[in-house]
Amino acid sequence: MSQYMTRVKGPERTLRASLEALNVDEEWVRETALCYALWAGAYFWMVIGEQTEHHLCRLPIGWGIHELPPHFSLFVDCLAVGGFCERVDLNRFRWKPEIAPYGAKALPQLWGDGPNKWEQRKWELLYIWSKMPQSLKTKYLWSNEPLNLILLQRDLDSYFHVKTRRWSEAPDARPGFKSQIAEELRRLDCEDGLPGRKSRA
């Protein structure tokens, strides 16, 4: 008996037969792959090395002319061949209307008339919050009051590096405009709630 028999349920008796019964055509594969590629590109983030302050940018989304990150150059060229975007010059590109159905499906809040900057910023803030050391975060989790801006600002100034978006376990302050981050985290907490925080409903 297959090891998958007790773990996978499908229309047929075996995993192989169930997979063979799927109706997977070329258009389905193309749509699924393109939606995933757009989603993965928009959420992409990679820091180069442990100590460096350089990082690789996300795939630009929405309408208008965008700077093309070099590491997405080949991907954009492939999409241009398919008619989904076009190069403006060597370092810039723009999306064509043909990408809209895929973009709207993969990133429903960020396509249409263009990306909502606050919705995009939420990704960054949730990432910053998720990476905050537990030793710092604990004091914010037990309270159902709005985030203390003074305390949060102090933690950001002492432990957070703006350029790398990395936290330190020990104080290692670096210059950067962090009061805006504290205010944005408080706004996000008030609107949607930050993971782990007590509900204020």
pLDDT tens-digit series, residues 96-147: 888 888 877 777 666 655 556 677 678 778 888 988 999 999 999 888 888 9
By C-alpha distance, which of 147, 163, 150 is closest to 200? 147
Top pLDDT among 6 and 163 is at 163
What is the model's pLDDT at position 14?
65
The separation between the first and the last C-alpha atoms of the chain, rounded to the nearest angstrom, is 52
> 93 falls in which pLDDT band (50, 70, 90)?
very high
The two tokens of residue 130 are 């998720």
Q: Give CA angle at 64 (163, 120), nearest 5°.
A: 40
Among residues 186, 188, 179, the alpha carbon closest in space to that of 121 is found at 188
> What residue spans of the chain are helical by DSSP H?
15-21, 26-43, 73-81, 100-106, 117-131, 134-141, 149-159, 179-191
Of 195, 72, 188, 92, which is closest to residue 140 (Cα–Cα)? Answer: 195
Give me the numbers of helices (H) and strands (E) for the chain, helices first please. Answer: 8, 7
Residue 114 CA: distances (Å) to CA of 55, 88, 99, 136: 25, 18, 12, 36
| Of the candidates 56, 24, 58, the residue with the CA atom closest to the CA atom of residue 38 | 58
pTM here? Answer: 0.47
Between CA 59 and CA 72 the distance in angstroms is 7
pLDDT digits (tens, 9 = 90+) for 13-71: 666 666 566 555 556 556 677 777 777 777 766 555 554 455 667 788 777 788 888 88
**Hey, where are the domains in the chain?**
26-115, 121-191
